[in-house]
């Protein structure tokens, strides 16, 4: 019988350390050829009504499955269905809002581990919403961060984020009066917004910075201006085929001949050691994150294993 695991169960059973281990391991498996990922498919079911699916399989973990999420009545609902890849048996149905937050942040942490300078100590976050919290936490796990700054359009929101994350992480987080001020002096810059227009400009970047753009997943949306992409010495994506249809930050420059898709490296090649995530200390590195079902099933497997061991969840 399959387990049904709620958001509360996931919150109890999965933390950032486990999520980062799951994401990194899944990328190692993909680099070795034992894991597969299929880009997201989207269906518009009606006015403001959407259903999306993402599928993956990890032979080393012995699981396969998919994430589905819907938007209806202004509400998103996320689920991962996890199956045994040997028997085909359904192992679990996992409510996946918190899981998605953690695995998205975890991927940015893994990217920072392999792409940011080892001595990185200052982070700038542009965005202060639900996803922004896991982004900062993960980078603090990957590097010895001593200070962070945050900017978002709402002064109240960025101040609340700064206070909350300072207390949670034990790292001073200060609100900035502008995105440019937040970025000044940063080693790692994270954009995690819902903006349809660029929030980070290439002219603000300094030698050695690592940038993660994790907000947009739309061909007509870009959190970065084209100069950020032009300045990057290495551009890494989670999945090249998905990036070609969803990463507006790269699609728009590519359409103008400012970026070549052949120059995009996939994160699993960096984690697997086939490509270096940073050639020189002064390089500017860029990771464009869209999200992969492979990360979802790896995180769900971590949750499932703990749930089965601890007797958590409802049998169906």
**Active centre residues (catalytic):** 67
Cα distance between residue 79 and residue 67, in whole Å: 6
User: Of all helices (H) and strands (E), which one includes residue 20?
Assistant: helix 16-31
Residue 252: strand, helix, or coil: helix
The values of phi and psi at residue 77, to 5°, are -135, 130
| Longest distance between any two alpha carbons in the chain, whole Å | 56
Rounded Cα distance, 300 and 99, in Å = 8
Nearest Cα residue to 21 out of 268, 310, 302: 302
Is 282 in a helix, a strand, or coil?
coil
Stated as kind and residue range, the H or E segment containing 56 is strand 49-58
Query: Which value, in Å, is the radius of gyration of the alpha carbons in the chain?
Result: 19
Round to whole Å and give the CA distance between 8 and 16.
15
């Amino acid at each position: 019988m399959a387990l049904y695991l709620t958001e509360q169960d996931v919150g109890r059973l999965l933390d950032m350390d486990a999520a980062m281990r799951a994401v990194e391991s899944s990328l190692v498996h993909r680099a070795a050829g034992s894991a597969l990922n299929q880009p997201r498919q989207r269906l518009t079911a009606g006015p403001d009504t959407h259903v999306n699916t993402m599928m993956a399989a990890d032979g080393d973990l012995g699981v396969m499955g998919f994430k589905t999420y819907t938007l209806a009545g202004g509400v998103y609902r996320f689920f991962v269905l996890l199956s045994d890849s040997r028997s085909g048996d359904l192992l679990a149905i996992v409510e996946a809002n918190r899981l998605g937050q953690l695995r998205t942040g975890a991927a940015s942490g893994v990217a920072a581990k392999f792409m940011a300078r080892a001595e990185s100590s200052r982070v700038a976050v542009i965005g202060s919403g639900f996803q922004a919290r896991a982004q900062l936490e993960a980078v603090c796990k990957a590097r010895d961060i001593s200070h962070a700054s945050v900017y978002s359009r709402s002064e109240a929101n960025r101040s609340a984020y700064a206070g909350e994350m300072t207390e949670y992480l034990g790292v001073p987080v200060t609100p900035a009066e502008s995105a440019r001020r937040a970025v000044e002096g940063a080693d790692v810059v994270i954009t995690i917004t819902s903006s349809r227009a660029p929030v980070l400009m290439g002219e603000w970047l300094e030698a050695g910075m690592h940038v993660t753009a994790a907000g947009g997943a739309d061909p007509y949306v870009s959190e970065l201006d084209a100069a950020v992409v032009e300045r990057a010495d290495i551009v890494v994506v989670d999945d090249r085929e998905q990036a070609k249809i969803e990463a507006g930050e790269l699609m728009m420059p590519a359409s103008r001949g400012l970026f070549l898709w052949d120059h995009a490296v996939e994160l699993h090649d960096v984690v697997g050691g086939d490509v270096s995530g940073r050639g020189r200390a002064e390089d500017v590195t860029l990771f464009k994150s869209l999200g992969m079902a492979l990360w979802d099933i790896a995180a769900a497997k971590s949750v499932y294993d703990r749930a089965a061991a601890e007797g958590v969840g409802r049998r169906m």
